[in-house]
Structure 1
Amino acid sequence: MNRNRWIMVALVLLIGAALYGNSGKGLLSFLKASDKSEATLNQTSESLIAIAAQGAPKPGTLSPEFSLVGLDGKTYQVGGKRDKPLLINFWASWCDPCKEEAPDLVALANKYSNQLDVYGVNVTMYDKLDNVEKFVEQYGYTFPVLLDEKEEVFRKFNGAAFPTNVLVDKDGVIQDLIIGILPADELEAKLKKLLD
């Protein structure tokens, strides 16, 4: 249900952009395309994610600064130089790809705990705290889980989909931005590159 809501929001934004940019010329072709198969719908939603990601902070730029409270009651800050590189994982408890990715994140966080910080940022505006706590317990998260209650931080990264992973080096510079999940070995390869 929530995935459909995201797709509908993206489609409404696309219609609005088409109407604004083309004075309605693009609307007819968009409506004709809406009768396509599920594969076309998936392609459309992937294209919308790509369009939304265009405004996201880019690799090679400083990470947006933010401060959030974690489930443990501590405040965590991001921005500027750090002791270790950082993986920021934006997620929601209802997100099936987040569930699929969770065991890999836990394994990688544990494997590289001496070299890497991992912050799981739950976009709580779209979630329920009880579900967040159950998710963290079910998947055995050992890294801090921060609560983005008003979606302010997710917006700073121009969040388009869950999960979104951001790799930040020790200088506070974004090295990679990953929308969606990667196989564990591909994510680990990106982490190793970040740690070099």
Structure 2
Amino acid sequence: MKKITWLAAIAVLLVVLGLYQSKAGDAVAQASAARPELKQGQAVPSFSLKGMDGGEYHVGGPRDKPLIVNFWASWCGPCHEEAPDLAQLYERYKGKIDLYAVNVTKGDSLKEARSFVKQYGYHFPVLLDAQGEAAAVYRILFVPTSFLIDKHGNLKEVIHVLPRDELEQRIQSLIEA
């Protein structure tokens, strides 16, 4: 008799768990549908953020130069690895590209972010995503993540940490597109 009771309890538990997962899956699907997937060749979502310099910066739509949007955080080890390369390559190509470093401030410390920017000598706009809205729109799952956007406002490529020479090749291809 005890064996039947245990089996019935396990069966009920499995049914409840299945219903819960079904409802949770529906909620995730609805949230994902509200944010369209970013696809190569299509226009990137627009957003505006304040920069550390107090300026307002806009992403989305046509512009004079291609744009790299790099999402990062000061606590992120790979972000520290790629930071010197981003700074050097920006200095080399700054007349031909724009680079916005978007700090995911919602999950970071503004003090640490400022220290990071100073440490690596960023001379390009550093935007503060204090509410996490830009990261949500761009579906940032981990940092660093960079979006290479052509001058028409279309996504060319999504990249993560690359060796410096490979990153430079991607930047050159973006400029030539």
- Give the TM bin, normalised by the shorter chain: 0.7 to 0.9
Q: Could you tell me which residue of structure 2 aligns to residue 135 of structure 1? A: 116
Secondary structure of residue in 1 paired with 2:70: strand
Q: Could you tell me which residue of structure 1 aligns to residue 132 of structure 2? A: 151
Q: Is the 8 A contact 1:56 1:159 kept in 2?
A: no
Q: Which amino acid counterpart does residue 127 of structure 1 have in structure 2? A: D
Structure 1: gaps (5+ residues): 1-15, 24-54
159-168 vs 180-189, which deviates more?
A: 180-189
Q: Could you tell me which residue of structure 1 aligns to residue 167 of structure 2? A: 187
What is the TM-score when the length of structure 1 is the normalising length?
0.72
Q: Deviations over 1:131-170 (max 9, x none)?
A: 0100000111110000000110011111111000000000
Deviation at 1:20, TM superposition (A): 2.9
Secondary structure of residue in 2 paired with 1:161: coil
Equivalents in 2 of 1:92, 1:176: separation in Å? 21
Alignment of 1:169-188 (within 5 A): 169-178=150-159, 180-188=160-168
Secondary structure of residue in 2 paired with 1:134: helix
The runs of at least 4 aligned residues of structure 1 exceeding 4 Å deviation read none
Q: Could you tell me which residue of structure 1 aligns to residue 51 of structure 2? A: 70
Alignment of 1:1-196 (within 5 A): 19-20=21-22, 56-178=37-159, 180-196=160-176
Evaluate the alpha carbon distance shift between residue 127 and residue 76 of structure 1 in structure 2; reply closer, same or farther with a 3 A threshold.
Answer: same
What is the TM-score when the length of structure 2 is the normalising length?
0.79
Equivalents in 1 of 2:45, 2:154: separation in Å? 9
Secondary structure of residue in 2 paired with 1:186: helix
Q: Which amino acid counterpart does residue 153 of structure 2 have in structure 1? A: G
Aligned residues: 149
Q: Which amino acid counterpart does residue 119 of structure 1 have in structure 2? A: Y
Deviation at 1:115, TM superposition (A): 0.1
Deviation at 1:86, TM superposition (A): 0.3
Q: Which amino acid counterpart does residue 154 of structure 1 have in structure 2? A: A
Equivalents in 2 of 1:125, 1:72: separation in Å? 18
Structure 2: gaps (5+ residues): 1-17, 26-35
